[in-house]
Chains A and B, each alone.
Chain A
């Protein structure tokens, strides 16, 4: 039996895969890894299918010990990865021997590491997914110190030789996100529409798997009054009464009562997952 013993979860250690789409009509969001590209890359590096369950680790401070030998790869956030005190290059597959200790330092770029282990994390699936939904409290509980995760059987595919140049670490400085029109754009003033695309925004401290709240010029409403709650999609930018937008993410409530001015394109959501509080964000038309 191969296991990963969590000695320190860090700020947050959650099992995530590609989530459980198709259940919004029952009140369940898709959940899943916020940085889906990083999940797929980490899995490919160790020969897993793209959607094998992995750990999503916030910021750093994570430490775990391998029981048995296993290949692993760390992607997503860019920071110090140490195996038994020796640095391992990020975005590469490495082999841990029995008893080896893996440590992730504070991320220098991005904020969410993805740690994939060859064979995937073998935890029970709930509604077809091993993802932790932090709002609906579905799936594996957040990792705590002393917990052991079973590692699944090795996949048929071997550990591939991957050109490391295909992987880009998260951007520093200003990040530009592509957005699509939102269903309630006409609830906002022309000035709000202009400000969304022409002014710089910053990620606030209020950013998690449910939503990422931005700070910038208040987006004024043309139409006041209440909106009956309606279904949202990942990336929906809902604007609360104070005019500040929140990008709704994987664990969002499936319906929301604030108007959605625009929708971050699916291809830009991985970048949202890696934004750090205070980082500048700009928007462009997809």
Chain B
């Protein structure tokens, strides 16, 4: 497993991995072995930004911690840090039928697969609380919409590429909508503002479409 340490200013390192799997494994390993002075781990598709308070841990020490930490590229959903969060979904999204057809499965089979597997939040992107969810057991690659919607309602459950996600608030978006949830994904007033954060495991549960 290779990791390259790239400079990112005087209080952060950018750690580059070869694959998302390695990012997930390294993120788990770093999160499980926290060091005083390490302020934050910000994973993305190929990288983790490690930001530190240089007065408490020199960047060089943080670099040594990252270089030496053992991390096996294991299953994306192994070693869950907490119980998975369950998100109830009404699978009546506008793109469900067309997406299933494009993947050569029935809508029922697509929903069964989406609800039957455990997901993991790989990283947050696009908007506060918007988790990019991955699973070893998700076989599909879903193309984005050719023309993004200008308004995707909050709570829309969607697919794009190898990812699933839930729109935390109304926004524009090019992911394919397969359902919707009443779960609150993002509430800046709450003690835990984001339902999904990197490393969190997730299950979707089908509820009757209203």
Q: Do A and B share a complex?
A: yes
Q: Which one, B10, B14, B45, contacts A183 given CB within 8 A?
A: B14
- A22 to B11 alpha-carbon distance, docked (Å): 13
| Residues in B110-126 with C-beta less than 8 Å from chain A | 123-126
- A235 to B40 alpha-carbon distance, docked (Å): 18
Pair B197/A231 contact, Cβ less than 8 Å: no
Distance of B192 from chain A, by nearest CB (Å): 10
Pair A24/B44 contact, Cβ less than 8 Å: no
Whether A25 is near chain B, meaning CB under 8 Å from some CB there, is yes
Distance of A257 from chain B, by nearest CB (Å): 9
Whether B47 is near chain A, meaning CB under 8 Å from some CB there, is yes
Task: Output the residue of B8, B10, B11, B124 with the most chain A CB within 10 A.
Answer: B8
Pair A27/B47 contact, Cβ less than 8 Å: no
Whether B80 is near chain A, meaning CB under 8 Å from some CB there, is no
Residues in A whose Cβ lies below 8 Å from that of B41: 25
Pair B44/A230 contact, Cβ less than 8 Å: yes
- A221 to B87 alpha-carbon distance, docked (Å): 44
Residues in A whose Cβ lies below 8 Å from that of B124: 25-27, 254
Whether B46 is near chain A, meaning CB under 8 Å from some CB there, is yes
Residue of A nearest to B194 (CB): A26
Residues in B whose Cβ lies below 8 Å from that of A108: none
Residues in A whose Cβ lies below 8 Å from that of B39: 21-22
- Answer whether A229 and B125 are a contact pair too, CB < 8 Å, given A25-B41, A25-B197, A127-B193: yes
Q: Which one, B10, B44, B189, contacts A228 given CB within 8 A?
A: B44
- A286 to B14 alpha-carbon distance, docked (Å): 19
Distance of B59 from chain A, by nearest CB (Å): 11
| Residues in A102-153 with C-beta less than 8 Å from chain B | 126-127, 136, 138
Whether B183 is near chain A, meaning CB under 8 Å from some CB there, is no
Question: For chain A, what secondary structure do more than half of its interface residues adopt (helix, strand, loop), or is it mixed?
Answer: loop
Q: Which one, B8, B42, B48, B127, contacts A263 given CB within 8 A?
A: B8
| Residues in B2-29 with C-beta less than 8 Å from chain A | 6-12, 14, 16
Residues in A whose Cβ lies below 8 Å from that of B198: 25
| Residues in A162-197 with C-beta less than 8 Å from chain B | 180-184
Pair A27/B127 contact, Cβ less than 8 Å: yes
Whether A88 is near chain B, meaning CB under 8 Å from some CB there, is no
- A126 to B7 alpha-carbon distance, docked (Å): 31
Distance of A227 from chain B, by nearest CB (Å): 9
Residue of B nearest to A184 (CB): B6
Task: Output the residue of B16, B128, B130, B193 with the most chain A CB within 10 A.
Answer: B128
Residues in A whose Cβ lies below 8 Å from that of B128: 26-28, 136, 138
Residue of B nearest to A260 (CB): B8
Whether A266 is near chain B, meaning CB under 8 Å from some CB there, is yes
Residues in B whose Cβ lies below 8 Å from that of A25: 40-43, 124, 197-198
Q: Which one, B6, B8, B44, B197, contacts A255 given CB within 8 A?
A: B44
- A236 to B94 alpha-carbon distance, docked (Å): 39
Whether B51 is near chain A, meaning CB under 8 Å from some CB there, is yes
- Answer whether A230 and B49 are a contact pair too, CB < 8 Å, given A26-B194, A126-B188, A183-B14: yes
Whether B155 is near chain A, meaning CB under 8 Å from some CB there, is no
Pair B7/A182 contact, Cβ less than 8 Å: yes
- A230 to B47 alpha-carbon distance, docked (Å): 6
Whether B179 is near chain A, meaning CB under 8 Å from some CB there, is no
Pair B188/A138 contact, Cβ less than 8 Å: yes
Residues in B whose Cβ lies below 8 Å from that of A180: 7, 9-10
- A229 to B126 alpha-carbon distance, docked (Å): 10
Pair A26/B14 contact, Cβ less than 8 Å: no
Residue of A nearest to B43 (CB): A25
Q: Which one, B10, B129, B189, B197, contacts A126 given CB within 8 A?
A: B189
A sample of 6 inter-chain contacts (CB < 8 A) reads: A180-B10, A228-B45, A230-B45, A231-B48, A254-B42, A265-B9
Which positions in A face B, CB cutoff 8 Å? 21-28, 126-127, 136, 138, 180-184, 228-233, 235-236, 254-255, 260, 263, 265-266, 286
* Further 13 A-B residue pairs, CB within 8 A, beyond A228-B45, A233-B9, A286-B10: A25-B43, A27-B127, A27-B194, A136-B127, A183-B7, A184-B6, A229-B44, A229-B45, A232-B8, A233-B8, A233-B49, A236-B9, A254-B124
